[in-house]
Structure 1
Amino acid sequence: MGTGKKEANRKIRQGKVGDGMGNVKVKGENFYRSGKKVRQLKVLTGGGAQRNAAGEITKAAAYQSRDIPNARVEPNRKWFGNTRVISQDALSAFRTAISERTSDPYNVLLKTNKLPMSLIHDGHETKDGVRQHQAKRTIQMSSFSDTFGSSSQRKRVKLDAGDFASLAGGADQDMQTYAERQEQARLLSGQSGEAREGEHEEDDGQITTAIEPIFSKGQSKRIWNEMYKVIDSSDVVIHVLDARDPIGTRCRSVEKYLKDEAPHKHLVFVLNKTDLVPTRVAARWVRILSKEVPTLAMHASITNPFGKGSLIELLRQFAKLHSNRKQISVGMLGYPNVGKSSIINTLKSKKVANVAPIPGETKVWQYITLTRKIYLIDCPGVVPPSQNATPEDLLLRGVVRVENVEHPAQYIAAVLARVKTQHMEKTYGIKGWSSPTDFLELLARKGGRLHHGGEPDVDGVAKMVLNDFMRGKIPWYSPPPTAEDAEAQGEEDLVVGQEEDAEAATEAAEGEESPDDDSSSADQGQGEGVEFAGFESD
């Protein structure tokens, strides 16, 4: 349709046939937008740069220039001077104050972003127990006159030893350093040097016996990845220990990692299963461990817990320390089957994490909400690899499942060495055995655990005894260091348990020697074990 017909139809449609030529619009004129509307649209759509098909700018946009302006830096001293400086005297005083504060486990350094922490914690040499800084050692070894000036010795060769006497002294120092590193390795593996000094006199660093693959549980790469994810996600790390063997269930390698790589994270010890040891022993372990890390005693139970209020109050204090955060995360770490998931269920007063009296129930980490500002993270049990840890130690710490162990009867000797004879007799009602095999045979015949032909089921009974040992049916515990005994005797009246506990301890003392002889009996091959009723709630 042509333009003339369009105009004729428009005038007929609008009733403007008799208007003459005054209302006729010519070709090319905008029929739909006024000049004002067109200018407004140009403001909205215009102003951009024009580009070609390759995306290159052919015409710059308005108020845009592609020319680089000529600029210069203002000659002001504030651009070239040091922004944060500190004198050596102030740094030394600050280093001393920090070392005194950090030695106390109950002091917390909240903000370190503006502090020269690298100048404080650098260096590893110690002098009279005080760590020396690298820069300070450098100044002591090379003075200013030896470094600069006419008498400088920077390009001269520095010999380690000037004579044979100093060379021999250096060799002795290297040997002493090696012995200290070996002792530190034993401590990190959970074994003290004094406890196994006789066993490692002729140790050449090689394992001569085969170890079952089952004893490698808790050391896989997946488990360690889960643990490091929990550490990275946590603001507070709770290390759960077994009150019966706190030193054996302590992951020193994890503690060293937190101290070196994540010093801003808070570490807390929770002594779980305190209902299985006497009150005085639990209180003594708390005093000993509190010198290094804040320690709490706890009995994880949904119906009848102990120490729950103290732990929740401690977590609330950590939340107040980090008031600038919306919430904090608390990670649970420790050996398998020490009660990490049970503590979470106790804090929630209901079952939110799967628990079982066997190790390996928790497979992956799990986030659990305790309060609006506190989150809990459950972690699988981790077993730090150690060359000094024997299969007996790993089994009796609850690392592996008893039903997966081959020939469990061979580990009964370790159980009899840790538990007093009177407690085994009272638990199983048998007497007069001369060897571990004889003990298993007597127990099998008493319980009717026999094979065809009247042969006792030794392995089946051994599994039962090992399960009873790990689940707390057999009373036993590792005695605290003897250096604390004299100090603990004066405070024993302050931590006495219920009357039932006192009566049970009195009966045990009448049946054998006095409590002062417990350490000697442990040295003779009989470990400690006292029946324990529980803590007072107050």
Structure 2
Amino acid sequence: MRKTKNPEKQVLRIIRDADVVLEVLDARFPDLTRLPQYENLAKKLGKPVIIVLNKADLVPKEWAEDWKKILQREGFPVVFVSTKERWGTRILRKTIKSVAPKLPVVVGVIGYANVGKSSLVNVLKGKTAAPAAPVPGWTRGEQLVKISKEIYLMDTPGIIPLTDPARLVLIGAYDPNRLEDPELPAELLLRVLHSADPEKWPATIEEYAKKKNYLLKGGVPDTHRAAVDLLSKWQKGKISVPSLDWLKKVDAELNE
């Protein structure tokens, strides 16, 4: 997959060249992973935007349905997908064809880092997909991948650079190993985990480190290692969302 030194220009090029744009959001935090400026640009250019709520297997059904209604009221088709469980792509293909201005259609994918763009591209490709450029008039630089006779995918997902790593690590958009101070977002996550299940989750990162036996010399809690461990588990979906109220509380904390 070809990389670029300027992600913003890459996203702009995808929106300009694609017939249909897929905006991939994290279903746990749709509002925090949206790209309204690019949604507006696509609208101005007359490009249909389909909202793909990835990681939908990690959220309560009520949460997903509420967000579907919100986004549909704004005029966006919405499709639930789980690239991990590999479901939702058939409906997505049907939705792409239903909004396509013409067939065959060229589809571009945009979104924040780690919301699941590359996984979605790989799932849509399937095992039999191969690079091709048979769309009449296609002269752009991006390579096209044939998804079906009627759908071609631009093999260059747009990646938006991050401006607030400590906050965005909680929405899975930044590697916690790269944070200088992962304790801050880890403490926020622990606070809401503890409020939902105080018997299972400690109240502080120090207590979590002791529970995991992450200790430095002299028995001092290794809070950095503990924070990275907790955040990594959260990003990988190993910490389940216990309830709709819990998810709303996390969302409210992140929006403060």
Q: Same fold (TM over 0.5)?
A: yes
Match of 2:221 in 1: 456
CA distance in 2 between counterparts of 1:232 and 1:451 reads 53
Match of 1:199 in 2: none
Give the deviation of 1:229 after TM superposition. Answer: 2.0
Q: How far does the alpha carbon of each residue in 1:135-194 deviate from its partner, in whole angstroms, 9 at most, with x for none?
A: xxxxxxxxxxxxxxxxxxxxxxxxxxxxxxxxxxxxxxxxxxxxxxxxxxxxxxxxxxxx
Aligned-partner SS, 1:456: coil
What TM-score, normalized to structure 1? 0.40
Match of 1:237 in 2: 21
What TM-score, normalized to structure 2? 0.80
Match of 1:253 in 2: 37
Match of 1:284 in 2: 66
Give the deviation of 1:306 after TM superposition. Answer: 2.3
CA separation of 1:419/1:380 partners in 2, compared to 1, >3 Å: closer, same or farther? Answer: farther
1:457-476 counterparts in 2 under 5 A? 457-476=222-241
Aligned-partner SS, 2:12: helix
Are 1:334 and 2:111 matched, yes or no? yes
Whichever residue aligns with residue 346 of structure 1, its letter is: V
1:283-362 counterparts in 2 under 5 A? 283-292=65-74, 293-301=76-84, 304-319=85-100, 321-323=101-103, 327-350=104-127
Give the deviation of 1:236 after TM superposition. Answer: 0.2
CA distance in 2 between counterparts of 1:365 and 1:410 reads 40
Give the deviation of 1:322 after TM superposition. Answer: 1.2
Aligned-partner SS, 2:108: strand
Match of 2:51 in 1: 269
Give the deviation of 1:241 after TM superposition. Answer: 0.8
CA contact (8 A) 1:270 1:295 kept: yes
1:55-134 counterparts in 2 under 5 A? none
CA contact (8 A) 1:345 1:352 kept: no
Q: Which aligned segments of 4 or more residues in structure 1 are displaced greater than 6 angstroms?
A: none
CA contact (8 A) 2:170 2:231 kept: yes
Give the deviation of 1:318 after TM superposition. Answer: 4.1
Counterpart selection for 1:396 from 170, 186, 203: 170
Whose Rg is larger? 1
What is the alpha-carbon root mean square deviation over aligned residues?
Answer: 3.1
Give the deviation of 1:252 after TM superposition. Answer: 0.7
- Mind listing any 5+ residue stretches in structure 1 that lack a counterpart? 1-219, 354-363, 434-438, 477-504, 509-514, 528-538
Q: How far does the alpha carbon of each residue in 1:83-127 deviate from its partner, in whole angstroms, 9 at most, with x for none?
A: xxxxxxxxxxxxxxxxxxxxxxxxxxxxxxxxxxxxxxxxxxxxx
1:34-73 counterparts in 2 under 5 A? none
Match of 1:381 in 2: 159
Q: How far does the alpha carbon of each residue in 1:3-45 deviate from its partner, in whole angstroms, 9 at most, with x for none?
A: xxxxxxxxxxxxxxxxxxxxxxxxxxxxxxxxxxxxxxxxxxx
Match of 2:134 in 1: none
CA contact (8 A) 2:22 2:51 kept: yes
CA separation of 1:526/1:332 partners in 2, compared to 1, >3 Å: closer, same or farther? Answer: closer
CA distance in 1 between counterparts of 2:211 and 2:78 reads 43
Whichever residue aligns with residue 149 of structure 2, its letter is: R
1:488-503 counterparts in 2 under 5 A? none
Whichever residue aligns with residue 415 of structure 1, its letter is: L
CA contact (8 A) 2:20 2:48 kept: yes
CA distance in 2 between counterparts of 1:393 and 1:346 reads 28
Larger RCO (CA under 8 A, 6+ residues apart): 2
- Mind listing any 5+ residue stretches in structure 2 that lack a counterpart? 131-140
Give the deviation of 1:222 after TM superposition. Answer: 0.9
CA distance in 2 between counterparts of 1:372 and 1:230 reads 21
Whichever residue aligns with residue 179 of structure 2, its letter is: V
Counterpart selection for 1:443 from 208, 212, 232: 208
CA distance in 2 between counterparts of 1:311 and 1:453 reads 55
Percentage of matched positions with identical amino acids: 32
